[in-house]
Structure 1
């Protein structure tokens, strides 16, 4: 009689696997979101060119009617507009992040990912980081085109431009959480787009982006002063134009931290609801 296979000693069993670490999950999920962006190359190219067209259009339209006496001494309208356009450019990708989340919910991607042993909130953080990387590329291209091809020459030089870029990335990442929260709550692409435009147009135009606040009508000046994006634009402009910073940068960072904290909390809460 042939003896059966012997059992291994108790000490030779492989240790139980409890899943990958949160950092590994975040990295893999971020790579997944980046691959989704790279898979749509035409859309990606158009997204990279859009802020350049906006800079060309706005600098020509508003630059021809704005009185340079109302701007800081020695500052061209292009140099005045560029820092603010960094911030407004980031609104588009922030909206797209929310719409992308809704589509993942609709096509079943989120449902499939939820069956895996991963932390559900990391899906949101991974999407926000992937979209932040795409936005950073957009803003870098915008700065290169403005300086090399359009003659932008802000007083802050390269250091000021890089500092403004980094500050803008923080602000945009915070704004992304607003639209991720809306997407996780509404769960409809049409409703998401309507709500996004309802939010973004007042934020963009009732601000210091395109003209100095003190040249606005009284009621609009009050709205611009209360607008949180005005803090980000003023801080970005101060960095680019080598102006006294005061509390502008810290105000922008503080407002961004508050928005990111509240937005991420709301997004995670809404995202945890059942899909159906």
Structure 2
């Protein structure tokens, strides 16, 4: 004779299943890992310090002599006109390194090891974007300190204008970093990434209002510059720094940046999910 024991479905002795850490914890830990790998590499630190210095002095010393004071806002020196563009140009250059860094992580096996853990793919991408945003912020701060102390940069918007201008610039850089993350997740090769980055950055920066007023460009370049998304970013950053009425420029700049980031994030996640 056999006795059937009732199944105790209400037992609470079973240990809860661990599904991994929270998304915030994942992003914080992975961001700290990226920053540590940067700080502990003397070569990367040296390049990270030299690049913003070169960006500042090369652009300011080359383009200052070509300025036409009559085309600038009243009471504005060309250095004040140029500095927001220098900051935007720098974060655009730095954002391309975000995609290249992702490609390197995909190729050196780090991503394969992380994928064996309960980590969301979006956390890896967010951590890469966040760590490079922190680096860009420190480099922008270095550029501003040098510009103020060495070149005498003193825009009409004061410290508040410089801070707001820098925040807008970092927002643009963050959006573009997602575009390069999407590119890196799809291409997964360093050489094409570098070539495409140059092809994208050079026209975006030079066919815009970054270095000369749009009115000084030939007619066909002026048309391209007016539809260039970076023109909106540079104009908004410049208006805030110079203390001009740039309310109507900030909105479009933030909207374009948000759209670029959103579309690029979707493409980046899908590309990143592909088998290695």
Mapped to 2, the partners of 1:272 and 1:18 lie a distance apart of 19
Match of 1:92 in 2: 93
Q: Secondary structure at the match of 1:51?
A: helix
Mapped to 2, the partners of 1:246 and 1:260 lie a distance apart of 22
Q: For 1:15-64, what per-residue CA distance to the aligned partner results, in whole angstroms no more than 9, with x for missing partners?
A: 33221111111111111111111122332232233222222122222111
Mapped to 2, the partners of 1:177 and 1:118 lie a distance apart of 19
Q: For 1:187-233, what per-residue CA distance to the aligned partner results, in whole angstroms no more than 9, with x for missing partners?
A: 10001111111111110111111000011000111111111011010
RMSD over equivalenced CA pairs, Å: 1.2
Match of 2:194 in 1: 193
Which runs of no fewer than 5 residues in structure 2 stay unpaired? 1-10
Mapped to 2, the partners of 1:154 and 1:45 lie a distance apart of 29
Extract structure 1 runs of 4+ deviating beyond 6 A.
none
1:118 aligns with 2:119: yes
Mapped to 1, the partners of 2:13 and 2:185 lie a distance apart of 46
Q: 1:48 touches 1:137 (CA, 8 Å); kept in 2?
A: no
Match of 2:28 in 1: 27
> TM-score, normalised on structure 2?
0.93
1:173 aligns with 2:158: no
Q: Secondary structure at the match of 1:20?
A: coil
Q: For 1:89-142, what per-residue CA distance to the aligned partner results, in whole angstroms no more than 9, with x for missing partners?
A: 001221111111111111111111111111112111110000000000000110
Mapped to 1, the partners of 2:12 and 2:99 lie a distance apart of 50
Mapped to 2, the partners of 1:70 and 1:229 lie a distance apart of 20
Match of 1:67 in 2: 68
Mapped to 1, the partners of 2:233 and 2:42 lie a distance apart of 31
Q: Shift of residue 13 of structure 1?
A: 5.1
1:272 aligns with 2:273: yes
Q: 2:93 touches 2:201 (CA, 8 Å); kept in 1?
A: no
Match of 2:8 in 1: none
Match of 1:227 in 2: 228
Mapped to 1, the partners of 2:187 and 2:13 lie a distance apart of 51
Mapped to 2, the partners of 1:258 and 1:69 lie a distance apart of 36
Number of equivalenced pairs = 266
> TM-score, normalised on structure 1?
0.93
Mapped to 2, the partners of 1:95 and 1:136 lie a distance apart of 15
Q: Secondary structure at the match of 2:120?
A: coil
Map 1:240-259 → 2, pairs under 5 A: 240-259=241-260
